[in-house]
Homo-oligomer: A and B are copies of this chain.
Amino acid sequence: MSDICRVALDAMGGDNAPGEVVKGAVEATKKENDIHVVLVGKEAAIQAELDKYDYSKEQIEVVDAADVIETGEPPVMAVRRKKESSLVKAMYLVKEGKADAFVSAGSSGAILVGGQTIVGRIKGVERPPMAPLIPTATGVSLLVDSGGNVDARPSFLVQWAKMGSIYMENILGIKNPRVAIVNIGLEEEKGNALVKETYPLLKECKDINFIGSIEARNIPKGDADVIVCDAFVGNVILKLYEGTASTLIKKIKGAMMSSFKTKIGALLIKKSLKEELKTLDATEYGGAPLIGLNGLVVKVHGNATSKEIGNALIQCVKFKKQKINEKITASLNVEE
């Protein structure tokens, strides 16, 4: 097996496609030798963007796809019907073994559906979760699931805990990652039905470092590396995180711009503040992987810039080199 990671990149996905997507591909290939990017989408539009750069023709190729799946479309229908869309064609490249990974800033719903129906699950994986990295005061934590599994079963969460641990250990280099379940208190008897059933299963699980419950207030502190919950709760966490931070930062900006005096003050602290808040910027880490599929599928923010796309592409190389999927298969088999 070659060490080159082939990534099928949905060139038409996201608010800034194809411009930022193509730029991200060019940037990634400049930084990383072991990557080959297949840009899938409207060939002429992609080529026009590529012509703006001095890019490596050995590392970047274009595959034409006439159609595009829009963000608003019902995902199941869109994936089934739009066979000529960039998203579907790029996913087929992974299914057929022509690519190792898929990256898109397009419709989350279509990526979730396509990931399961086209790329397909690793044998033994019940429900592949979407696992974004969320920034904390001390680093990042992996939030599994914040994808489609809103009414989850305990066995799903146990698999997510295992797969999340493998991901954090091998991709982020965190030894023996701390796994916690989102709960409304620290005592073992707390929780809703799902958490109460899942808690003892996680406790018994020998191949993870389960530290118990985590209350939502301690998530931003970085008290766990892998945070498991059903996707409804995961979605609430992810979006509230974003919303609270943005409201608070608006308030702070308002305070800084309120008078001549505060404006001078703002000038003096601006650089240091920017630096400090950068540590809370998730774009550094390159998108949310959909874990447990036959190939890596990565969802990038809809408004991703070239930097985020590039980071997502480079993350794929690590995923392949670290043989994440082989490790997941091994970990699930242990339990069978």
Interfacial residues, chain A to chain B (CB-CB below 8 A): 136-137, 150-151, 182, 184, 191-193, 195, 215-221, 230-233, 235-252, 254-256, 258-259, 261-262, 264-269, 272-273, 275-277, 279-280
Structural contact, A220 and B193, CB atoms closer than 8 A: no
A191 close to B150 (CB less than 8 A)? yes
- Contact indicator A137/B220 (Cβ below 8 Å): no
Q: B276 near A255 (CB under 8 angstroms)?
A: yes
A268 CB contact (under 8 Å) in B182, B216, B219, B264: B264
- Chain B residues within an 8 Å CB radius of A244: 220, 240-241, 244-245, 248
Q: Which of A215, A218, A250, A272 has the most CB of B within 10 A?
A: A272
Q: Is B272 touching A151 in the complex (CB atoms < 8 A)?
A: no
Given contacts A150-B184, A184-B232, A240-B244, 6 further A-B contacts (CB under 8 A): A217-B243, A236-B237, A248-B249, A255-B269, A255-B275, A256-B273
This chain: copies in complex: 2
Contact of A219 among B221, B240, B261 (CB under 8 A): B240
A184-B150, A259-B272 are known contacts. Are A215 and B237 too (CB-CB below 8 A)? no
Contacts of A195 in B (CB 8 A): 232
Task: Write out the residue numbers on chain B whose beta carbons fall within 8 Å of the beta carbon of A259.
Answer: 272
Q: If the complex has contacts A247-B136, A276-B255, are A240 and B241 also in contact, measured as CB distance less than 8 A? A: yes
Given contacts A262-B272, A268-B268, A272-B262, contact A251 B277 (CB under 8 A): yes
* 3 tightest A-B CB contacts, nearest first: A265-B268, A217-B243, A265-B269
Residue from A195, A244, A248, A249 whose CB has the most chain B CB atoms within 10 Å? A244
Q: Are A276 and B252 in contact (CB under 8 A)?
A: yes
Cβ-defined partner of A220 (8 Å) among B220, B238, B247 = B247
Kindly list chain B residues whose C-beta atoms are within 8 Å of the C-beta of A268: 261-262, 264-265, 268
- Docked pose: A136 CA to B240 CA in angstroms: 12
Among the listed B217, B243, B254, B262, which residue makes an inter-chain contact with A242, where contact means beta carbons less than 8 Å apart? B217
Q: Which B residues are CB-close (under 8 A) to A236?
A: 182, 184, 216, 233, 236-237, 240
A-B contact pairs, 26 of them (CB 8 A): A137-B247, A191-B232, A192-B230, A216-B236, A216-B238, A216-B240, A217-B240, A217-B243, A217-B246, A219-B243, A220-B243, A220-B246, A221-B247, A232-B233, A240-B241, A248-B249, A248-B280, A251-B277, A251-B280, A254-B276, A256-B269, A256-B273, A258-B272, A259-B272, A265-B269, A268-B268
